[in-house]
């Protein structure tokens, strides 16, 4: 009887040990599973200029490609500004051309003629003054006549100097400072034209990258301020998963580690990805995170980047993540 009991006890001990071994081996080989949510970057699209919204070519849910025109503003006011800027540029260029070309030969000839006349008038006034001086010395005329002749001579001398200065200016052309000022005015007019043309181009809204229209915030006919959001675009790339891992398992999460991603909506479809970021600091477990085991109080955030297009995944969708080649170091 005692031998039978001893055998039964021994068998129980062996069975318990074997069961413990199986449980330990199962836990060691059980693949690590994480749970996360799809996270997609979005862009609020707006016109750089304000105006009346004339057209929108897309609606919510539409797939768009980079460079596709999404909408446009009424550009009539901006076309008017372009015409005004073009006219100002033409006027500034014409003024500069005149400054650089200098004075025409006809103008210079007229200046020479005025100088010749002023010179003749001065010589006549000087000779008359000299004659009256001699007469005064002989007491043949009064002093008032001499003074009047002197005034006429001095005025003729001043007129001659003015005519000479004007002729010299015409012969030398415009001053370098005037030409430099004219060139600056042309440059300013060119910049104003370029700004007007850029504003007109910015009445067209283009997709900055591939993606999906999430929100159509305004409708044609609305008056928009500069920078007002018109559409919200979800970028097709990059798409990533935000997940959390506890400290005991943190050693499994290394940047570049390959991951397998699946969702409840398409459990038979598996996507490839890799860990792109591991947070260096711990944080409290978000309430939305669910795991098979009891959650720890502190976890580390992971970013898993998808390596392929995942058309079935949507922003915020919960997904299941498993480490690819779990027993390998890489």
Tokens coding 265: 């909506």
Q: What is the pLDDT of residue 104?
A: 63
- Which of 196, 229, 264 corresponds to the end of one domain? 196
Contact 292, 321 (CB under 8 A): no
Q: Does 53 reside within a domain?
A: no
Q: What confidence score (pLDDT) does residue 325 get? A: 66
* DSSP state, residue 71: E
Domain ranges, residue 101: 82-196
92/178 same-domain check = yes
Cβ-contact 237, 95 below 8 angstroms: no
Pairing of strands 69-73, 318-323: unpaired
The structure's pTM equals 0.60
Q: What is the pLDDT along the chain (330 residues), one digit of tens a residue?
A: 555 556 555 566 666 655 555 554 544 445 678 888 888 888 999 999 999 999 999 999 899 999 999 999 999 999 999 999 999 999 999 988 877 766 666 666 777 788 788 888 888 888 888 888 888 888 878 888 888 888 998 898 998 888 888 777 766 666 778 778 888 999 999 999 999 999 999 999 999 999 889 999 999 999 999 999 999 998 877 788 888 888 888 888 888 889 898 888 777 888 888 988 888 887 766 655 555 454 556 788 899 888 887 777 777 788 888 888 654 444
* 214 occurs within a structural domain: no
Inside any domain, residue 232? no
pLDDT given at position 170: 67
Q: How many domains does the chain have?
A: 2
Which of these three, 163, 196, 229, is where a domain ends? 196
Same domain? 136 vs 38? no
* Prior bond of 238 cis (ω within 30°): yes
Concatenating the DSSP letter of every residue in 245-276 gives: EEGGGGGG--TT-EEEEEESSSTT--EEEEEE
215 part of a folded domain: no
CA atoms within 13 A on the CB side of 86: 7
Q: In whole angstroms, what is the distance from residue 174 CA to residue 168 CA?
A: 11
User: Is residue 48 situated within a structural domain?
Assistant: no
Residue 99: strand, helix, or coil: helix
CB atoms within 10 A of CB 302: 24
How many residues are listed for the chain in this entry? Answer: 330
CATH number at residue 266: 2.40.30.170
Q: Does 313 fall in a domain?
A: yes
Domain contains 205 = no
Rounded to whole angstroms, what are the CA distances from 76 to 52, 189, 221, 252?
10, 21, 14, 61
Do the Cβ atoms of 46 and 225 come closer than 8 Å? no
CB-neighbour burial class of residue 163 (10 A; exposed 0-12, middle 13-18, buried 19+): buried
Residue 136 lies in a domain: yes
């Amino acid at each position: 009887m005692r031998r039978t009991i001893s055998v039964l006890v021994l068998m129980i001990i062996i069975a318990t040990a074997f069961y413990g071994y199986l449980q330990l081996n199962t836990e060691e080989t059980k693949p690590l599973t994480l749970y996360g949510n799809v996270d997609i970057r979005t862009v609020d699209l707006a016109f750089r200029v304000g105006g009346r919204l004339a057209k929108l070519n897309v609606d919510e849910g539409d797939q768009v490609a980079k460079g596709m025109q999404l909408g446009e503003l009424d550009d009539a006011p901006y076309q008017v500004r372009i015409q005004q800027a073009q006219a100002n540029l033409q006027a500034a260029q014409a003024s500069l051309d005149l400054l650089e070309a200098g004075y025409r030969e006809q103008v210079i000839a007229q200046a020479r003629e005025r100088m010749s006349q002023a010179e003749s008038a001065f010589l006549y006034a000087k000779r008359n003054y000299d004659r009256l001086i001699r007469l005064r010395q002989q007491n043949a005329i009064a002093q008032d006549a001499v003074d009047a002749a002197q005034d006429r001579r001095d005025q003729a001398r001043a007129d001659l100097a003015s005519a000479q200065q004007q002729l010299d200016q015409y012969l030398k052309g415009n001053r370098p400072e005037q030409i430099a000022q004219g060139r600056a005015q042309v440059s300013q007019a060119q910049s104003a034209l370029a700004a007007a043309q850029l504003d007109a181009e910015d009445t067209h809204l283009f997709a900055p990258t591939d993606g999906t229209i999430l929100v159509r915030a305004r409708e044609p006919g609305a008056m928009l301020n500069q920078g007002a959001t018109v559409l919200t675009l979800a970028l097709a790339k990059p798409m990533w998963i935000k997940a959390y891992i506890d400290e005991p398992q943190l050693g499994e999460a290394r940047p570049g580690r390959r991951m397998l991603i699946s969702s409840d909506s398409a459990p038979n479809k598996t996507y490839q990805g890799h860990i792109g970021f591991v947070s260096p600091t711990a944080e409290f477990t978000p309430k939305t995170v669910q795991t098979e085991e009891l959650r720890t109080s502190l976890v580390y955030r992971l970013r898993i980047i998808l390596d392929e297009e995942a058309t079935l995944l949507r922003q915020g969708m919960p997904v299941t993540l498993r480490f690819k080649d779990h027993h390998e170091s890489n």
